[in-house]
Amino acid sequence: MEGVELMDFGVSDYDETYLLQRELFEKLLDGKKTGNVTPKEYLLIGEHQPVITLGRRAKETNLLLSADIIEASGIKIRRIERGGDVTYHAPGQLIAYPILDLTRHRLGVKNYVTLLEEAIILLLRNYGIKGERVEGATGVWIDKGMDRERKICAIGIRCRNYCSMHGLALNVNTDLSGFNLINPCGFTDKGVTSMSKERGKVFDMNEIKREFSKILFGLIFPLQKILDFSK
């Protein structure tokens, strides 16, 4: 069936969501190879239990404590195939994993990443926060070029045969203390922040999910049918 299906995975264990991602990603790849049907695309959205993920080129030295000590505290560590370095996920953080055939939407990989950034920039603008891009540093930042420049959204994707998985993590109401365990995204001279820290309030995650999804689909898939959007 054609279209993009929104799947809200709630607050989940990282490993469970990763297995779901892989399953849907492989189905998309297989469908694209055979060409017999138009495989369904997905946007997986939700939050994760505490976990640190390291991308393909992440350095172990960006973990500021030993892996044994970190995992003993209840935080998982997972090395995965996305781009980017090391980041931290926890409840209160918006996670979005678009599983898409980029060629279907006439998108190159670089353009796709730019559009993910733009979706977050527009979302933040709706809540009175100025998000910006920083050259050479994928993601969305606050106070670009200033001494207190800080990251609010990390982006790391994997593409194979122009099909995408993994995605982005926006700090909404996140407890940022977990970032003290790492050099976020490999940086030692930049901070992290959240929407709640910037605005001094707690945000409704369901509202943030809805608004982000509408913005993303409006930017990338204006002609696509969105299935199960009300979930």
Indicate which residues carry an active-site annotation: 185
Q: Which two tokens stand for residue 15?
A: 């490993």
Q: Which helix (H) or strand (E) holds 89?
A: strand 86-89
Q: Which two tokens stand for residue 219?
A: 């930017």
What residues contact residue 88 under an 8 Å CB cut-off, 6+ apart? 50, 51, 52, 75, 178, 179, 181, 182, 184
Q: Which amino acid does the sequence have at 5?
A: E
The overall longest dimension of the chain from CA atoms, in Å, is 54
Q: Which two tokens stand for residue 146?
A: 């200033």
Angle between helix axes 205-220 and 109-126 (nearest 10 degrees) is 140
Q: Give the residue from 42, 44, 35, 55 showing the smallest Cα distance to 16.
A: 44
Q: Give the residue from 96, 97, 93 showing the smallest Cα distance to 193.
A: 93
Q: What are the backbone dihedrals phi and psi of residue 185, each rounded to the nearest 5 degrees, phi first?
A: 60, 20
Tell me, what DSSP letter sits at residue 83?
S
174 three-state secondary structure: coil
